[in-house]
Amino acid sequence: MTNPLARFEPFPEPPALILEYIAERSAEESVVDGPAPWDLGALPAELIEPMPAWLDSVCRWLNGRYAWQPQDVIPPCWTEHEGLAYDIAALAFARGDAYAEAGSAVTWHEQYNRFLTRMNNTLGKAGDECRVGKHEQRPARFQLAAWPALANGDAGEPDRAKRVEEMAG
């Protein structure tokens, strides 16, 4: 008789470069004082470069294991939704820590359910279209454009927008 659990696929491993960075940050005598690897907007270019492919494999894994209802599907345009990208990164890194103990794994699943709620709140009705590959620009873009520019110019916004575009490929 074949073991029915043998077909279960493991969670995608973070890229080697990211694992090395995490190890360097957590070493007792570390000289690395960089951002947390799940803080996508703060990562240097060499660390952000492997993230989209890994996080995409994480999304595919999550969808394949947990998305039994349409509203649970992470849309293929997740990189176009900056908030989702941050959430997915945090959830992916938290999973590695969570599976060190059974109770923590249960907590991770509760975090995953909260992620689904945030994702659906973020996507709103547009989520249905995104999930079938029909992404449109942010519905609230016109409201955000109404904010006046900062006196010194909004220097951070173009960089942030550029980084999200780079993640999207």
**Tens-place pLDDT, residues 77-131:** 999 999 999 999 999 999 988 988 889 999 999 999 999 999 999 998 889 999 9
> Tokens for 76?
């293929």
Q: What is the pLDDT of residues 30-86, one digit of tens each?
A: 666 789 999 999 999 999 999 999 999 999 999 999 999 999 999 999 999 999 999
Q: 13: left (phi > 0), else alpha (psi -120 to 50), else beta?
A: beta
pLDDT, position 18: 95
The string over 69-83, giving b where at least 16 C-beta atoms fall within 10 Å of a residue's C-beta and e elsewhere, is eeebbbbbbbbbbbe
Sign of CA pseudo-dihedral 74, 75, 77, 82:
negative
**C-alpha span between 111 and 58 (Å, rounded):** 15
Mean pLDDT of the chain: 87
Q: Per-residue pLDDT for 152 more than 80?
A: no
